Chain A
C-alpha cells in the first residue's frame, strides 16, 4: 500500500492532465530494483545487493534488463538465466534473418518487372498516354505499405531510375495537398541518387523563380531539367480508398505535364481491375496505358516462409502440432499475413525461452561440454520430471536395466543421455523436413491439384501427430503414384531421386531401370503399361471386365511386367519410408524441449476478448475475485447475491431487464438485492446508509455506461437503452 501513496504523490494533479512525461520519484527508482529481488528470493539478500551494484554499473544489460525470471523455484542460477536469454537471442535472430531474406525475395519478381516497366516507359512507347502500372496487390492491406516501400527503394536507390512519390488515401483530402506531397517527395530527398552538386542546383532552380507556389508542378519540371534521365514515378498505394475526384484531377494534370515531365503512374489495386475501371470515368481511363503486375499469392509466400522458419534444419526449435493449429487457423480465418505469422512464431520462441527453464539446452546442443556445465542439479531433476522421461527409461529397463538406474540416480549419465537425445531430436526434425519435402514433390507431380489445395503448413500438424499416413490425402497420393503413366512415373522418379534423402540411390536405380525398359518398348512403338494403369472405364459387367482384363494382361509384354514390378516395389519403398519418417514426435525423449506446443498463450494473447471478459467478470465475479461470498460454487444457481460488487449486481439486473430500462425500477431492484432482508425496513430519506447505497448505484450505472453497455434513452426521461445482450 505504501506504493500507492507514492503514486498519488507524484501524479496527484496529473490524473486530469491529458498527457505528460512521467518522472519517477527517486524513491520509486530505488524501489524498483531491490523490490524485484525481494520478490524473487528473500533468502539471497546479500547476493542481490551485489547484483544491484553490478547492474548499476553495466546499465542492466542481459536477461535481467529484459525481465527474464529465475525459474525452478529460484534454484536456477544466474548463469543459466542469462544463457537462456542468450539462446533466445541467438536462435531467434537466426530465424528472423532467414525469414527476412525470404520475405525480401517474395516480392522480388514483381519489383523487378515494375522497375523494368519504369525504365522502359517513354514517350516513344506510350505516345501521348500516361504510362500506368496497375499493381494487383491482393486483399492483405497490411502488407501494402511494405510493398510500396520496397518499390520506392528499388526504383530510387537500387536501380536509380528516378524518383518515387508514394501517396496514400490519407493524402487525398484535396488536390493541393497531393501535389505538395509529390513535389516534396520528388525534389527534396537526395540521398543515394546524385552527388551534392545537384542539391545546390535544385535549390537554385527554386530560388530563381521564387514566385511559384509550392504546389506548382513546374517545380518538378525545373528539377527534371537538372536530372535528364530520371523518371518521375507517382505511386498510389490504396487506389480504392483514394478520393476518386482527386484521382481524376491528378491523372489529368499528370497527363498534361507529360510532354514536359516523364511521369509514370503506379496504382495499387487490392480488389480487381474491373472495380477500378468502374470507379473512373472513361475519359480518364483513356488517358492511361500500361501494364499490370501480380503480386505473389499469400499462400506461396507463406509456404516459403514456413519452410525456412520452421521446417529448415537450421531452426532448432520447432512448433508443435497444437500450437501450429492455433497459429494457422488464425492465419486462415483472420489475418492472412506473413508478417503476423512471423510475429506468432516469435512469440512461441519468447514464451518457450521465458518460461521453460530447460530451454537452455537448445542453446548448447552443439557441444556436450557446454551442456554439461550449464545443466545444474535442479535442471536434471526437472528433466526427470518431463513426461517423456518415463517412457524413455521404461524402454531401457528391458534391455539395459543398469542404464535405466543410472539415468535416475546419476546426473552424469542423464546429461550424456540428454546430449544423445538432443542429437536424436535434431535428426528426427531433419528427416521430417526431408520426408515432407519429398512428399510434397511427389504430390505436386502425382496430383498437382491437391498439392495446391492443401499447403504444407496444414499437413504439418497431422504429420507430427503421426497420423498422416492413415489420412486419405496420403493414401490417394500413393495410389495415384501407382496409376500414373510411365512417362510421368519417370519424371517423378527423376525429380525425387534428385532430392537428398536416404532413398535417393534406390530411386535413381529404379529410374534407370524404367528408362531402360521405356527405350526398349519405344523401339517397338508402344509405351510401358503397368497393371495398375490398365484402363477400367469400359468395364460393363464383372465378368466381361475380367475377360477384358485378361485380354489386356495377355497383351502385356515382358517389359511391362518388369515395369510393373518396379512400380510396385518403388511405391512400397516410398510408403515404408514415409511411415518411418512420419512417426509421432511424442515418441522422442526431450520432445518437450525441441517442440514448443503450448496452446494457451497463443490463443489468448493474439485475440482480445474484451466483451466475454467483462461479461464474465460481472456475471460471475467470483471467478476473478476468488472470494467465498460471491458464489464460487459451480452450480447454475450461483447468480446474484448482495455480497457481490455493486456493478456486478447492477449488470445482472441489467441482463434481465427489457430493452428500455427505467432508472428508478433498476434502482429499486438494485436496492432489494444489495440490502437483502434489510430492504423491507422503513427508512427516511436522510438515512446515510441509503444515500451511500445510492451513490454506489450511481457509480455502478456510470460504469456500465462507460463500458458501453447502456446509454440514455432519448425517448423517455430517466430511461436507459440496453446496448448489449450477453452471449450475443
Chain B
C-alpha cells in the first residue's frame, strides 16, 4: 500500500485531461476496447490516433472541462468493478489518491475512501501487469499535460476555478531536484513528435518575426554601451574583461572594438563558436596582427614552444611601440572548440602579456569551471554582467552541426525520427548487402501494410503497434532466402540496430516486436529506394 503510493504518477494538474471529445469516445468505446485478450494493438491505438493528431493543432483542454472533471471526481468512486475499467475512471482514482496523500487529514475522515483506494489499487495492479498497449494510449492522453506541470493557474489567470486540487507550487532548489528526480513513472509523450520545420522556413520565419521587446533590448544595450569607456580604461590598466549573462554579446563587443581600433590598437577577433577553431589559429593571427601577414616566422610543432616564441615576438613589439597593443576579442571563450584545459592555459598565458588586451564573452552557465586558480590569475579577469537578451542566432547555428539549431529542427541524434534519419537510412542501405536490403524491405513492407490497414496518415510515426514479431520476420526471411540461420538473421539485424533503423520491444507475451521508427511517408520512400536499387 505504502509502496504503491510512491509509485503513483505525479498529481496530474487539473487541466491535464485529454480533450472532451476523446474522453467521450473513450467512454463509449469502453466495454470492448483495450481488453487484454482481444484487443489487438492496432485497434487499441486506432481510436486514439485521432485525438493525438488534433492535439498537434489545438489545445487539448478548456477550462470548462476542467470544471466537469473535478465534479466527476466525487462520483467516480462508485463500486462496480469492471475488469477493464476505462481509463478515465482510473485517472480519477489516481487523482483522488494523490489528493488524499497531499491532504493527509482526509484519510481518517471517511471510510469510503478506503474502498475507493482499493479499487484504484486493483486497477493499478492490472495495469502494472504490463498492458503496454494501453500504456502507450495513456501516454498519448497524458501527452499534453501530465509531464509538463506548467499550466499553473498563474499562466492564465482568468481561468481560475473554485474547486481545484491544491495547485502545483513552484518549487526550487534542492526540493525541486529530489522531487523531479524521484524514480517513478512519469508519463511523457514518446509517440508524438513535433512537426519538423525546414531550416529555410525556420530562418525565414525568425527573420520576419518582430520582437515585442526590441525597444527594451535596445535600451539594455545602450546601458552596456555607456560602460565602454570604463572597459577601455580597465583594459588599459592590464586587466582583461569577461562578459557573462544571458543573450548574445557579439554585436555589443563588435561595437566595442571599434573604440579599441580607434585607439590604434590591432584587433584580432576570434569566433569561439565556430567549430574547428584551434589555439594555433589564434596565436598565428596574433602574430600576423603584430608583424604583418607575410612574416615568414616559423613555429615549432609543439604548441608550447610556439607560445614561447610568440611571447618573445610580443616582447620585441612592445619595446618598439609601447602604447600600441593587440586587442584580442574572443566571442564565446567557453565554446566547444576552446574548452580544453590546454587551450585555456595558452590563452591565459597569451592574455597575461602586457601587449595583449583580452576581452571575451562566455555563455555557458558553468563557464567558471574552465579555469583553475593559476590560469585565473594569469587571465586577471574583470567580470561584467552583460545580459543583452539578444538571441544567440549565430552561436547556435554556427556551432558544430551536431550541436546546432539544424539538429534541433530535425530532431537531433537522439531524435532519430527526423527527416535526416530517413535520409541516413538510404545511405546505410546503399552500403549493405542485398540480403540485408531485402530483409529491411520485408520489415518495412510489413509495417506499411499494417499502417495502411489502419488508415494512418502520411505523417504517422512507425510504432510498436505496427511492428512485426521477431519470429514472423525470421520466417519471412527464411522463405525469401534472405537468411539461412538464426545467427545470420541476428547479424543482419545487428546492423539495423547499430544505425537505429530498427527498434524493438518485448510485447506482453514476451515475444519481440520489431519496427522501423520512421514516418509512413519516409518508409514509403525508403521502400521505393530499395525496390528501385
Against B, the Cβ 8 Å flags (1 = close, 0 = not) of A656-671 are 1111111111111101
- Report the minimum CB–CB distance from B466 to chain A (whole Å): 16
Cβ contacts under 8 Å, A65 to chain B: 236, 263
Restricting to A695-723, which residues have a CB under 8 Å from any CB of B?
Answer: 695-696, 698-699, 701-703, 705-709, 712-714, 716-719, 722
Cβ contacts under 8 Å, B246 to chain A: 613-614, 617-618, 647, 707
Considering only CB atoms, which chain A residue lies closest to B218 in the complex? A1
In the complex, besides A354-B230, A607-B383, 4 extra interface pairs with C-beta distance below 8 angstroms are: A15-B398, A663-B194, A665-B144, A669-B148
Any B CB within 8 A of the CB of A400? no
User: What are 16 of the A-B contact pairs (CB < 8 Å)?
Assistant: A18-B271, A20-B285, A32-B262, A67-B233, A617-B387, A639-B152, A647-B391, A658-B180, A658-B181, A695-B206, A701-B408, A708-B366, A718-B190, A725-B172, A725-B177, A728-B174
In the complex, the answer to whether B231 meets A673 with C-beta atoms within 8 Å is: no
Compute how far the CA of A727 lies from the CA of B408 in the bound complex, rounded to whole angstroms. Answer: 27
How many residues of B are in contact with the other chain, CB < 8 A? 142
Cβ contacts under 8 Å, A664 to chain B: 143, 189, 192-194
Any A CB within 8 A of the CB of B380? yes
In the complex, the answer to whether A617 meets B247 with C-beta atoms within 8 Å is: yes
Cβ contacts under 8 Å, A671 to chain B: 59
In the complex, the answer to whether A350 meets B267 with C-beta atoms within 8 Å is: no
Any B CB within 8 A of the CB of A346? yes
Against B, the Cβ 8 Å flags (1 = close, 0 = not) of A88-115 are 0000000000000000000000000000
Any A CB within 8 A of the CB of B195? yes
In the complex, the answer to whether B58 meets A683 with C-beta atoms within 8 Å is: yes
For the residues of A in contact with B, the DSSP-based class is helix
Cβ contacts under 8 Å, A15 to chain B: 250, 271, 394, 398
In the complex, the answer to whether A712 meets B149 with C-beta atoms within 8 Å is: no
Any B CB within 8 A of the CB of A197? no
Which of B217, B242, B365, B517 is within 8 Å of A724, CB to CB?
B365
Against A, the Cβ 8 Å flags (1 = close, 0 = not) of B133-154 are 0000000000111111111101
Any A CB within 8 A of the CB of B424? no
Any A CB within 8 A of the CB of B385? yes
Any B CB within 8 A of the CB of A395? no
- A656-B170, A683-B58 known; A19 vs B415 contact (CB < 8 Å): no
Cβ contacts under 8 Å, B512 to chain A: none
Our count of residue pairs bridging A and B at CB distance below 8 angstroms stands at 387
In the complex, the answer to whether A706 meets B282 with C-beta atoms within 8 Å is: no
In the complex, the answer to whether B168 meets A702 with C-beta atoms within 8 Å is: no
Compute how far the CA of A714 lies from the CA of B416 in the bound complex, rounded to whole angstroms. Answer: 10
Any A CB within 8 A of the CB of B276? yes
In the complex, the answer to whether A21 meets B288 with C-beta atoms within 8 Å is: yes
Cβ contacts under 8 Å, B365 to chain A: 610-611, 614-615, 707-709, 724
Which of B190, B242, B288 is within 8 Å of A717, CB to CB?
B190
Restricting to B364-387, which residues have a CB under 8 Å from any CB of A?
Answer: 364-368, 372-374, 376-378, 380-385, 387
**5 interchain residue pairs of minimum CB distance:** A662-B188, A142-B377, A67-B232, A67-B229, A727-B173
Cβ contacts under 8 Å, A22 to chain B: 257, 261, 267-269, 329
Compute how far the CA of A640 lies from the CA of B170 in the bound complex, rounded to whole angstroms. Answer: 11
- A625-B213, A656-B148, A718-B190 known; A645 vs B389 contact (CB < 8 Å): yes
In the complex, the answer to whether A19 meets B302 with C-beta atoms within 8 Å is: no
- Report the minimum CB–CB distance from B319 to chain A (whole Å): 15
- Report the minimum CB–CB distance from B189 to chain A (whole Å): 5
Cβ contacts under 8 Å, A607 to chain B: 383
Compute how far the CA of A668 lies from the CA of B234 in the bound complex, rounded to whole angstroms. Answer: 47
In the complex, the answer to whether B368 meets A610 with C-beta atoms within 8 Å is: yes
Any B CB within 8 A of the CB of A343? yes
Any B CB within 8 A of the CB of A66? yes
Cβ contacts under 8 Å, A145 to chain B: 374
In the complex, the answer to whether B216 meets A660 with C-beta atoms within 8 Å is: no
- Report the minimum CB–CB distance from A143 to chain B (whole Å): 8
Against B, the Cβ 8 Å flags (1 = close, 0 = not) of A589-628 are 0000000000000001111111101110110010011110
- Report the minimum CB–CB distance from A396 to chain B (whole Å): 38
In the complex, the answer to whether A18 meets B281 with C-beta atoms within 8 Å is: yes
Cβ contacts under 8 Å, A684 to chain B: 57
Compute how far the CA of A695 lies from the CA of B197 in the bound complex, rounded to whole angstroms. Answer: 8
Considering only CB atoms, which chain B residue lies closest to A65 in the complex? B263
Compute how far the CA of A31 lies from the CA of B258 in the bound complex, rounded to whole angstroms. Answer: 9
Any A CB within 8 A of the CB of B220? yes
Cβ contacts under 8 Å, B430 to chain A: none
Considering only CB atoms, which chain A residue lies closest to B63 in the complex? A680
Any B CB within 8 A of the CB of A503? no
Cβ contacts under 8 Å, B58 to chain A: 679-683
Cβ contacts under 8 Å, A667 to chain B: 194
Cβ contacts under 8 Å, B277 to chain A: 18-19
In the complex, the answer to whether A680 meets B59 with C-beta atoms within 8 Å is: yes
Restricting to B273-308, which residues have a CB under 8 Å from any CB of A?
Answer: 274, 276-277, 281-282, 285, 288-289, 302, 304
Residues on A lying within 8 angstroms of B by beta carbon are 3-4, 7, 11, 14-22, 24, 28-29, 31-33, 36, 59-60, 65-69, 140-142, 144-145, 170-171, 177, 335, 337, 339-340, 343, 346-347, 350, 354, 604-611, 613-615, 617-618, 621, 624-627, 629, 637, 639-641, 643, 645, 647, 652-653, 655-669, 671-673, 676-677, 679-685, 688, 690-692, 694-696, 698-699, 701-703, 705-709, 712-714, 716-719, 722, 724-728
Any A CB within 8 A of the CB of B1? no
Q: Which of A690, A695, A714 has the most CB of B within 10 A?
A: A695
Which of B211, B271, B380 is within 8 Å of A17, CB to CB?
B271
Cβ contacts under 8 Å, B378 to chain A: 142
Cβ contacts under 8 Å, A666 to chain B: 148
Considering only CB atoms, which chain A residue lies closest to B193 in the complex? A718
Cβ contacts under 8 Å, A719 to chain B: 188, 190, 414
Any A CB within 8 A of the CB of B433? no
In the complex, the answer to whether A726 meets B144 with C-beta atoms within 8 Å is: no
- Report the minimum CB–CB distance from A635 to chain B (whole Å): 11
Any A CB within 8 A of the CB of B266? yes
In the complex, the answer to whether A661 meets B209 with C-beta atoms within 8 Å is: no
Considering only CB atoms, which chain B residue lies closest to A6 in the complex? B258
In the complex, the answer to whether B389 meets A625 with C-beta atoms within 8 Å is: yes
In the complex, the answer to whether A626 meets B148 with C-beta atoms within 8 Å is: no
Any A CB within 8 A of the CB of B425? no
Q: Which of B177, B219, B229 has the most CB of A within 10 A?
A: B229
Considering only CB atoms, which chain B residue lies closest to A716 in the complex? B190
- Report the minimum CB–CB distance from A497 to chain B (whole Å): 43
- Report the minimum CB–CB distance from A1 to chain B (whole Å): 8
In the complex, the answer to whether A703 meets B266 with C-beta atoms within 8 Å is: no
Compute how far the CA of A684 lies from the CA of B58 in the bound complex, rounded to whole angstroms. Answer: 9
Any A CB within 8 A of the CB of B255? yes
In the complex, the answer to whether B62 meets A680 with C-beta atoms within 8 Å is: yes
In the complex, the answer to whether B209 meets A610 with C-beta atoms within 8 Å is: no
In the complex, the answer to whether B254 meets A7 with C-beta atoms within 8 Å is: yes
Cβ contacts under 8 Å, B168 to chain A: 656
Compute how far the CA of A44 lies from the CA of B49 in the bound complex, rounded to whole angstroms. Answer: 73
Compute how far the CA of A608 lies from the CA of B258 in the bound complex, rounded to whole angstroms. Answer: 25
Cβ contacts under 8 Å, A669 to chain B: 144, 148, 150-151
Considering only CB atoms, which chain B residue lies closest to A629 in the complex? B212
In the complex, the answer to whether A350 meets B237 with C-beta atoms within 8 Å is: yes
Cβ contacts under 8 Å, B229 to chain A: 36, 67-69
- Report the minimum CB–CB distance from B49 to chain A (whole Å): 15
Which of B150, B173, B276 is within 8 Å of A728, CB to CB?
B173
In the complex, the answer to whether B374 meets A639 with C-beta atoms within 8 Å is: no
Compute how far the CA of A311 lies from the CA of B395 in the bound complex, rounded to whole angstroms. Answer: 49
Against A, the Cβ 8 Å flags (1 = close, 0 = not) of B147-185 are 111111011101000000000101011101100110000
- A16-B271, A32-B258, A668-B59 known; A608 vs B304 contact (CB < 8 Å): no
- Report the minimum CB–CB distance from A669 to chain B (whole Å): 4
Cβ contacts under 8 Å, A643 to chain B: 212
Which of B180, B231, B362, B413 is within 8 Å of A610, CB to CB?
B362
- A20-B285, A661-B188, A668-B59 known; A68 vs B233 contact (CB < 8 Å): yes
Cβ contacts under 8 Å, A337 to chain B: 373, 377
- Report the minimum CB–CB distance from A215 to chain B (whole Å): 13
- A610-B368, A694-B195, A695-B206 known; A347 vs B147 contact (CB < 8 Å): no
